[in-house]
Amino acid sequence: MKKQMTRVFLSLTVIAGALSLNSCKKSSSSKNISRATGWKINAKEGGFQYNSDFKEQETAPGLVFVEGGTFTKGKVQDDVMHDWNNTPTTQHVQSFYMDETEVTNVMYLEYLDYLKAVYPPENPKYANIYKGALPDTLVWRNRLGFNETMTNNYLRHPAYAEYPVVGVNWVQAVEFAEWRTDRVNEALLEREGYLDSEAKYKPLTGESSGTFSTEAYLNRPESVYGGEIDSLQGKQKRDSVSVFAKRSSGIIMPEYRLPTETEWEYAAQALVGTREYNNYRGRKKYPWEGDYTRNGQRVGRGDQLANFKQGKGDYGGIAGWSDDGADITAEVKSYKPNDHGLYDMAGNVAEWVADVYRPIVDDEISDFNYYRGNVFMKTAIDKDGKVKILEDNIVYDTLPTGKVVAVNLPGEIKMVPVDEQETYLRTNFSDSDNRAYRDGDPGSSRFFDRFSDEDDESQRKMYNAPKHKVERDSAGNLVRQYDTDNYRTSLINDEVRVYKGGSWRDRAYWLDPAQRRYLPQYMATDYIGFRCAMSRVGSKSKTKNKTVRGKKAR
């Protein structure tokens, strides 16, 4: 009897195992069967090809994950400047990634080295590309201060390699982020076998007549590397036929960019450290716990928690017992990170963010991923119906300071503003440029007259900072035409950008993440740097909840 029961048990075990293996096999193969048509996905014979094995976005180089959520933006303890631009508003932020530290000198030098190799400045056609990317090292000079050591050494000397780069204006920071996007995606395509292992070095050695652009690769891959992409295909090339990655491949990363003001403030606050169930315990004045700038823990008690100016003439403390270990900027990671793992979100250098500055935060229109600065663009199409590629054309922008910056390089896609084809009968946007949308202009301007026949818009704008015209003549000389309009009433316009966080030059007041300041996007200083961010695609969280959403709780 016992033997019979044992046989029955073993038989049932074998059957159960077979069924489980069969169900596993079925579930693993079912993801490659279309729930719409029943056709095979990724069939060798052809048909619909899709990355059905994608799990989640990979964390790109230099970044850390910041899980999104709800917080109160603009919640400051003091308003000694009487700006009245910090009205608290409840905002929701999607999950995103942010640089662990500020962009450092050595990171920026890699960018300069690349530009110099691919676009040699001795070639008159390329001269302004490298020159326009150079940080302004003269920001260290002071009429009554001896700072020539930093002027000559801060950017390039190895002693400052891991210090945050400064002297970079907002436009240059944006261009760096675009370059970084292309280099990272180039390396990923090589890793996944879409490009040869040495393809990315071809432009550096002069063996390729063009470089790699992510958007050009996605829209017109045959144009990449000056049209030499076919000879640079990697292991994915099949039967002499080029195979290109697409967005649906799940390999191409979203772009590196400047964080929005809302993202930066949310990441700096790091309220995750004060969360209790679905509430925040109290509030935080700084990116760390407590209301003080000194360490209150047993180990390191009394040490400053950030690099900032502690008083008039006091940038670091008394020699031999320094309060913060730095007089100018400090090496990144010199202080503890916040609860998101981000370093120097208070002190060291203030940081550019993407937003155009306005005192008004219009949460009536948006309380989700709030951002002022949208200029919606689309790809330009040539007469053959193909996406336009800038071949030998380089688009430069002459800034009001006279600095010439390349905003489009050879091999990149030409972009144009959206028009009525995209805006007709839409309710969510009606114009390409939305930087001044609902900012109190023109209705709140003291010069506004709704029924006036006056065409001069300067009399109807609330935010109408002076517009100086700067250009170069045929001999290359700088011609400056200063704005002498008597109707200018503000220092704010659509090219004034927000910067956040305190710096080595600032008092503790500015360490509050909710504080905000602004500067024209073409200006650079010795106390403003930047870090990059990247949007997250897919799930909000990296960790699974214990309960499965959508199923009944028991």
Chain centroid to CA 297: 34
Q: pLDDT band at 304, cuts 50/70/90?
A: confident
pLDDT at residue 549 greater than cutoff 90: no
Helices (H), 416-505: 420-423
Percent of residues, the chain, with pLDDT higher than 90: 51
Of 366, 388, 369, the C-alpha closest to 377 is 388
User: What is the rounded CA–CA span in Å between residue 194 and residue 203?
Assistant: 17
Look-up: residue for tokens 């001999």? Answer: 475
Q: At what angle do helices 105-118 and 170-191 cross, to 10 degrees?
A: 80
- Asked whether 458 and 488 are in contact (CB, 8 A), the reply is yes
Model pLDDT for residues 195-254, shown as the tens digit of each residue: 998 899 989 888 877 899 999 999 999 999 988 888 888 888 776 677 899 999 999 999
Neighbours of 453 (CB within 10 A): 5
User: What is the rounded CA–CA span in Å between residue 202 and residue 209?
Assistant: 9
pLDDT of residue 454: 52
Strand partners, 93: 69
Q: How far apart, in Å, are the Cα atoms of 163 and each of 16, 103, 234, 409, 447?
A: 62, 8, 37, 28, 47
Model pLDDT for residues 139-153, shown as the tens digit of each residue: 999 999 999 999 999
What b/e readout covers 199-238, taking b as 16+ CB neighbours within 10 angstroms? bbebbeeeebebbbbbbbbbebbebbbebbbeebbbeebe
pLDDT of residue 263: 98
What b/e readout covers 378-410, taking b as 16+ CB neighbours within 10 angstroms? ebeeeeeeebbbbeeebeeebbbbebbbbebbb
Model pLDDT for residues 463-502, shown as the tens digit of each residue: 888 888 888 777 778 888 888 888 788 889 999 999 999 9
Query: What domains are there in the chain, each with its CATH number?
Result: 61-181+254-373+513-541 (3.90.1580.10)
Instruction: Kindly state the helix (H) or strand (E) to which residue 16 belongs, with its residue range.
Output: helix 2-30
Model pLDDT for residues 415-470, shown as the tens digit of each residue: 999 999 999 999 999 999 999 888 875 544 555 555 555 555 545 567 888 888 88
Q: pLDDT band at 375, cuts 50/70/90?
A: very high
For the chain, helix (H) and strand (E) counts, in that order, are 10, 19
pLDDT of residue 476: 73
Q: pLDDT band at 166, cuts 50/70/90?
A: very high
Omega before residue 442 within 30° of 0, cis? yes
Of 88-97, 229-238, 287-296, 333-342, the poorest mean pLDDT is in 287-296
Model pLDDT for residues 32-44, shown as the tens digit of each residue: 899 999 999 988 8
